[in-house]
Amino acid sequence: MHGVRVQGALAEAKEVDWTVVIHIPVDRYEGVPSYESFWDVPVAEVSEMDSVVASRKEYAEGKQTERRYL
């Protein structure tokens, strides 16, 4: 049923000549069945901000402990 609403919203958006935002409320705690993975989004490698440098170091250390499933 929700797919029909999204398709309708997309069809309506194509009919106008300006920017359109389609707001889709979701439950952030609702998971997708059989999807036990995550997005690997790296932190910037080069930065002058101490917080980014620290985050990159933490990211690199965590990356070494990742396990590949493919």
Cα 25–chain centre separation: 15
DSSP 17: S
For 19-55, the pLDDT digits (tens) are 999 988 888 788 777 766 667 889 999 999 999 999 9
Residue-level pLDDT at 2: 60
Q: In terms of pLDDT, which residue wins out, 36 or 57? A: 57
Name residues whose C-beta falls within 8 Å of residue 53's C-beta, 6 or more positions apart in sequence: 47
Residue-level pLDDT at 43: 93
Q: What is this structure's pTM?
A: 0.44
Q: Which residues of 21-45 are buried (b: 16+ CB within 10 A; e: fewer)?
A: eeeeeeeeeeeeeeeeeeeeeeeee
